[in-house]
Amino acid sequence: MEELLPGRHLPKPCWAICTSATRAYASTALEIAGVPIPDVLVTADDVRRGKPEPDPYLLGAAKCDVDPSRCLVIEDAPPGVTSGKRAGCKTLALATSYTREQMQACDADFLVQDLSRITVRRTAQGEVQVTIDET
């Protein structure tokens, strides 16, 4: 395992995917896309009530052992933004699958056109720093 910060081990898990897809579909889609399956993958199979209810994000936060208020939900669909907000998470809406106007109506904390508008990195102290360009 490559050590990202000399002398320190990053906390795991530090990110999760909470999707409305089934586990079989999500796992296959991630593999095809070349995205590593995170330690925490919450799917429709794991919750009784899916998005827009808060259950997926509450379970994801619990499995990451963090308070939902310390989580940033990145979503491209109105039900997902609503789910994240109901869970008490900060929300970042992407205007990729829906129009900017439809995503603005969700009242997300942040709204960007796409993922090219955000940067995520680890600081030397091991914290996650997210920079959002809302222009």
Q: Domain boundaries in the chain?
A: 16-132
* Predicted structure pTM score: 0.86
pLDDT in tens, 79-95: 999 999 999 999 999 99
Q: The tokens of 77 are what?
A: 């669909």
Instruction: Name the residue among 111, 113, 57, 66 with its Cα closest to residue 86.
Output: 57
Q: What stretch of H or E contains 55?
A: helix 55-64
One CATH from 3.40.50.1000, 3.90.1150.10, 3.40.718.10, 1.10.760.10 for 16-132: 3.40.50.1000
The backbone torsions φ and ψ at residue 91, rounded to the nearest 5 degrees and listed phi first, read: -125, 140
Q: What stretch of H or E contains 81?
A: helix 78-87
Rounded to whole angstroms, how far apart are CA atoms 64 and 96? 27
pLDDT in tens, 12-49: 677 899 999 999 999 999 999 999 999 999 999 999 99
Q: The tokens of 119 are what?
A: 């940067």
